Amino acid sequence: MGTLDSALNRDRYVAVHDSARFAALRRRSNTLTLWVSVTFFGFWFLTISLAAFAPDFFNHGLFGPFNVGLLFFFLSSFSVVVTTAVYMRLARARLDPLSEEIRADLEGDLG
């Protein structure tokens, strides 16, 4: 009897995996991850490229001992925080409601 129950549960999970709502959730998740990654790594690549190919730009002083290189360092640290906050906010607004619906339907079928 345990084998029959596990086969039915497996069929439910396969059905959820093949459903349009789960495909929409995956598409939203992948799109969000792509844009966040492109933004973050784009800024990181710009910083590394400028440091490697335009060191005089990074050595340009702004005020006192503070130069453009330090500004980019602080901006990259700040971008980690901003990127995380934006991702969390968008995930909470766009991904969590759909995943909760899918989970509730699945657990309702199991109960």
Question: In this model, does residue 7 exceed pLDDT 70?
Answer: no
- Partners of 61 in beta bridges: 67
Question: In this model, does residue 27 exceed pLDDT 90?
Answer: yes
Q: Residue 1 — pLDDT band, cuts 50, 70, 90?
A: very low
Rounded-to-integer distance, Cα 83 and Cα 36, Å: 7
Per residue in 60-100, pLDDT (tens digit) is: 888 888 888 888 888 888 888 888 898 899 889 988 999 99
Q: Say how many C-beta atoms besides its own lie within 10 A of residue 95's C-beta.
A: 16
DSSP codes joined into one string, the chain: -HHHHHHHHHHHHHHHHTSHHHHHHHHHHHHHHHHHHHHHHHHHHHHHHHHHH-HHHHH-EEETTEEHHHHHHHHHHHHHHHHHHHHHHHIIIIIHHHHHHHHHHHHHHH-
Per residue in 30-62, pLDDT (tens digit) is: 998 898 889 888 988 988 898 899 888 888 888
What is this structure's pTM?
Answer: 0.66
